[in-house]
Structure 1
Amino acid sequence: MQPMTELDADSLRDYYRKFSRFEASGTSPIYAAWAAGVAEDEEIIELLLELPKPKRQANLLFAAARHLGAGEGDYPSLRTWLLAHWGVTRDLMLARSTQTNEAGRCAVLLPALARIEGPISLIEVGASAGLCLYPDRYSYIYTTESGSLALHPEAAPSTVELTCEMTNATPPEQIPEVAWRAGIDLNPIDITDSDQQEWLHALIWPEHRLRRDRLSAAVALVSADPPRLVPGDLLETVEGLVAEAPAGTQKVVFHSAVLAYVEPAERESFAALMRSRDDVVWISNEGGGVLPDIGTQLDRETDGRFVLAVNGQAIALTGPHGQSFEGLG
């Protein structure tokens, strides 16, 4: 039997190879090259093994390096920089997490939210900086085979415009009225803090300039009216916030690309809690294997997309950044 450290090293090398081939390939040539380089670099692997397992992920390593000034060059350049700056990189990786806050996901959440009779109280689990708590403040462009539909907040078109390609579904016709909003996160990001804004930018992959521009616009909009964000564990905190929601509103608990970072037993406990609450509409937007009871409803491959579900019922496959919505019937 191999020593545990060698098993860990093999697992980490395999993770970085898969990240390069399947996650970054075709999406970020820089990250694909960096991950492929790390996978074959014994010295960097050994440094990563010093970190707790959740802190060894590629997104966190690469974002930390870029945030600290590593640039976006080839892998040999990154390697040289990491070896010279490992202390501060390690400290940042231990202090931060991959709290990517993609406002674009509101475009795939909106079709589910628009079905709910309002006004609504929104509670986001894993809210990061809370940018997805503002679906009523953004403009939307939905494109279909028959044309496109634009939706704007009642007051005026938004400075944040989200685009989404819809198939096998009809675009929503209205933006819901949000009467109250709040979020939960283990480590909420203060959207008014410039350093934390820069961290959110670093979490966006290098080539994704449109997403960075969208983030800048969403940060400017939301920082003028920051959301209430409560630090805490999802299971320990969510019911308290639900209880605070104003009477006469429909309570909606939602999350997007969050539960993959939660242990499976805790995910199931959270799903069971949501299923038990008749007074809450539960909207989940997660990877196909994250919530097995939802994933088993599918009759097709997700091809890297998320599964949007309402009260545990799968209704669509969605692009990870909100770029597409395929209805499931």
Structure 2
Amino acid sequence: MSATADWYRRAAVELAVTSERQVDWALGVTGDPELLALIEALPREHRQPSLLFAAAAWCGAPAADYPRWRDWVVAHWDDVADVARTRRTQTNEVGRCIPLLVALDRIPGPIALLELGAAAGLCLALDRYSYRFDDDPPLGSGEPLLATTTTGVGTAPTRMPEIVWRRGIDLHPLSPTAPDDRRWLEALLPPDRPARLARLRAALAAVADDPPLVVAGDALSALPSVAAVAAEEAPGASLVVASLGTLVYLPPADRAALAPAVREAGGRLVTFEAAGALPGVLERMRGLSAPHPTPFVLALDGEPLAHAAAHGDRISWLSQIGPAGQPELPATGT
């Protein structure tokens, strides 16, 4: 099996909880020598399954079963390949505001929020949406309403953060008011998840009048200068640097350098990433347990807080295992 076919087979496993339609496409590609050859002619970083699916959707591919989808993609390959070469995955999933809110609840305000890989900056506007943890009354009053269920021993937020300054960094910022950028954000979503599309559109509407600023730049190299702007424009605010599914796109050396760079800037680091993406997080998870572990881990300054579903709709608190094998109540003041 080629490396590309193996990549798409792994993607089918990862997509099982997010899109049955994309699982069908990914598995179809693994056994399709003609389409694999076309994909392998792309630069490696542009062969990513999610990017291919989005490029095809952007060009008008039907959200159909694999044979119909595949025939359309092959027939329109030049257009699909052109989009795949010039675009990148920038899924601005506002559901990830839920774990971000959990982490911000543990940081004294006011807060200057800086997000890496911010795309259109939708997660920077988390205080414009509303949230429901289990059956608790909603926090906030805006749309969309982001709901989650929790398991394990932990404390859900009971207040909204006081964000007095916000800025994003992205290699290619998107604008929530630009029609083509909005259409690309929609193309990045699975076609069989209408609730996610409705949530995206609600978030775009919520920020349309006052979009968060996202500046062009490399996450690591631009961080010091943007952090300096935060210190100048929001004196006295706690600088919080957030990475929500971004570290996987950075080379290992940059991942290792991120936490020291944030400390050097005087900030706190919130990560919602795969457990092994940030050095040290996996090691600090030893002795911790959650009722429903997931591949994603929420951490504050490298200290794991919880597992969560990729789109924030489930949170499972991490706790130390006591002598009797039962979770212990976590320490406060994290």
Normalised by the length of structure 1, the TM-score is 0.91
Deviations 1:7-27 (A, max 9, x none): xx711111112222x112353
Cross-structure match for 1:40: 31
The alignment partner of 2:284 has SS state of coil
Aligned-residue identity in percent: 40
Matched, 1:116 2:107: yes
Matched, 1:99 2:90: yes
Q: In structure 2, how many angstroms separate the alpha carbons of the residues matched to 1:89 and 1:53?
A: 15
Residues 207-218 of structure 1: pairs in structure 2 closer than 5 A: 207-218=192-203
Q: In structure 1, how many angstroms separate the alpha carbons of the residues matched to 2:259 and 2:77?
A: 39
Select the residue among 237, 253, 262 that pairs with 2:222.
Answer: 237
* Aligned residue identity for 2:250: V
Deviations 1:209-246 (A, max 9, x none): 11111100000111211111110111110111111111
Give the C-alpha shift of residue 140 in structure 1.
0.6
Give the C-alpha shift of residue 297 in structure 1.
2.1
* Aligned residue identity for 1:188: P
Give the C-alpha shift of residue 177 in structure 1.
0.8
Give the C-alpha shift of residue 292 in structure 1.
3.4
Q: In structure 1, how many angstroms separate the alpha carbons of the residues matched to 2:238 and 2:262?
A: 14
The alignment partner of 1:183 has SS state of strand
* Aligned residue identity for 2:34: E
Select the residue among 267, 278, 284 that pairs with 2:271.
Answer: 284
Classify 1:108/1:149 alpha carbon distance in 2 versus 1 (closer, same or farther; 3 Å): farther
**Is the CA contact (8 Å cut-off) linking 1:121 and 1:179 kept in structure 2?**
yes
Please provide the CA RMSD for this pair: 1.6
**Is the CA contact (8 Å cut-off) linking 1:275 and 1:312 kept in structure 2?**
no
Deviations 1:69-114 (A, max 9, x none): 1111111112211121111111111111110001111111112102
Matched, 1:69 2:54: no
Classify 1:316/1:26 alpha carbon distance in 2 versus 1 (closer, same or farther; 3 Å): closer
**Is the CA contact (8 Å cut-off) linking 2:113 and 2:240 kept in structure 1?**
yes
The alignment partner of 1:136 has SS state of helix
Q: In structure 2, how many angstroms separate the alpha carbons of the residues matched to 1:322 and 1:78?
A: 30
The alignment partner of 1:90 has SS state of helix
Give the C-alpha shift of residue 303 in structure 1.
4.9
Give the C-alpha shift of residue 272 in structure 1.
2.7
Cross-structure match for 1:56: 47
The alignment partner of 1:292 has SS state of coil
Cross-structure match for 2:15: 24
Q: In structure 2, how many angstroms separate the alpha carbons of the residues matched to 1:186 and 1:90?
A: 20
What stretches of structure 2 of length at least 5 have no aligned partner? 320-334
Residues 125-144 of structure 1: pairs in structure 2 closer than 5 A: 125-143=116-134
Cross-structure match for 1:14: 6
